[in-house]
Amino acid sequence: MSEFTKGPWRIAGKGTIRAGDGWIGRIHWHNRDANASLIAAAPDMYEALKSMLNLHLSHHNHPIHAAARAALAKANGHD
């Protein structure tokens, strides 16, 4: 899997998501604004989740850490 486009991502109107001068994608569903907001937040959430795991290494067996590691693996193309 290639590396994803670094953030920040932003909503550029009508469900369009951009990063820098590039185009990430466009959402066409009836709930496009909510979905676009979630997608635009993805890089920030990814980095926050990685930071959270690094800060809480002493509790690495807690179930929430397994869920966090699984989410990061999925984001990295390892589901």
**SS3 for 76?**
coil
Taking only the tens of pLDDT, the chain with its 79 residues reads: 568 888 889 888 888 899 988 889 888 888 888 888 889 999 999 999 988 888 766 666 778 888 888 888 888 878 6
Which stretches of 1-79 are assigned E, i.e. beta strand? 9-11, 16-19, 22-26
